[in-house]
């Protein structure tokens, strides 16, 4: 199911266009509007409304939309993805604004194998933007910054307490003092 086609939108649609298209179609296909219709129309409207809700939920959320676009663009390269699937009962179809309950992304993103360099690059970029990677990178940055600060602070303290002497000169004078002490 192409979420953009379900809502009658192009891939570059803004959030406002998505909201307007969803509200217009949701009013048309809302199951409550078809409560007195024959059963086959009621079922058809409910199914269409579920599809609209799923498309809206995916496209209005920036992360889900980016993932959906990545999945649909990458399908031509040979990767297979889990699709959105029904996790709830048929009665879980909407709240006042048409947000759906009982449906959701299944979690895992990639299955299968592919040799496309661009797809592997996309996977690498996706890894670089995961929360755990960013937290680990920030932690490493803090450790390196702390190491630099301690090193710079140690040098500043040395220069403050030993004006005119470098650390190497001080070590040489200590070595000379040890040899003189050992010789005597």
**How far is residue 89's CA from residue 125's CA, in Å, rounded to a whole number?**
36
Closest CA to 48 of 33, 69, 68, 64: 33
What pLDDT is stored for residue 22 in this prediction? Answer: 92
Beta strands 85-86 and 103-104 are antiparallel
What pLDDT is stored for residue 75 in this prediction? Answer: 67
What pLDDT is stored for residue 123 in this prediction? Answer: 79
Q: What DSSP state is assigned to residue 111?
A: B
- In sequence order, the 6+-apart residues with CB closer than 8 A to the CB of 114 are 77, 78, 79, 120
What pLDDT is stored for residue 125 in this prediction? Answer: 78
Closest CA to 35 of 86, 83, 93, 84: 93
- In sequence order, the 6+-apart residues with CB closer than 8 A to the CB of 75 are 81
Q: Are 53 and 98 in contact (CB under 8 A)?
A: yes
What pLDDT is stored for residue 90 in this prediction? Answer: 41
What pLDDT is stored for residue 134 in this prediction? Answer: 84
What pLDDT is stored for residue 102 in this prediction? Answer: 38
Q: Are 29 and 52 in contact (CB under 8 A)?
A: yes
Per residue of the chain (184 residues), give pLDDT as tens. Answer: 889 899 999 888 999 999 999 999 989 988 888 888 899 888 898 999 999 999 999 999 888 888 888 888 766 555 444 444 444 444 444 443 444 433 333 444 444 444 567 777 877 777 777 888 888 889 999 999 999 999 888 888 877 887 777 778 888 888 988 888 888 7
What pLDDT is stored for residue 20 in this prediction? Answer: 93
Q: What DSSP state is assigned to residue 9?
A: -
Closest CA to 88 of 105, 107, 103, 106: 103
């Amino acid at each position: 199911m192409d979420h953009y086609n379900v809502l009658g939108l192009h891939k570059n649609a803004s959030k406002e266009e998505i909201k307007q298209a969803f509200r217009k179609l949701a009013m048309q296909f809302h199951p409550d509007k078809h409560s007195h219709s024959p059963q086959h129309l009621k079922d058809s409207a409910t199914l269409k409304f579920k599809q609209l809700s799923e498309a809206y939920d995916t496209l209005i959320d920036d992360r889900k939309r980016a993932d959906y676009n990545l999945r649909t663009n990458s399908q031509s390269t040979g990767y297979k993805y889990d699709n959105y699937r029904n996790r709830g009962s048929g009665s879980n179809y909407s709240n006042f604004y048409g947000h759906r309950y009982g449906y959701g992304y299944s979690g895992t993103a990639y299955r299968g194998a592919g040799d496309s360099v661009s797809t592997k690059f996309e996977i690498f970029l996706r890894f670089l933007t995961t929360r755990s990677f960013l937290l680990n990178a920030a932690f490493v940055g803090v450790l390196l910054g702390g190491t630099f600060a301690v090193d710079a602070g140690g040098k500043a303290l040395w220069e403050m307490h030993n004006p005119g002497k470098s650390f190497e000169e001080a070590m040489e004078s200590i070595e000379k003092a040890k040899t003189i002490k050992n010789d005597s």
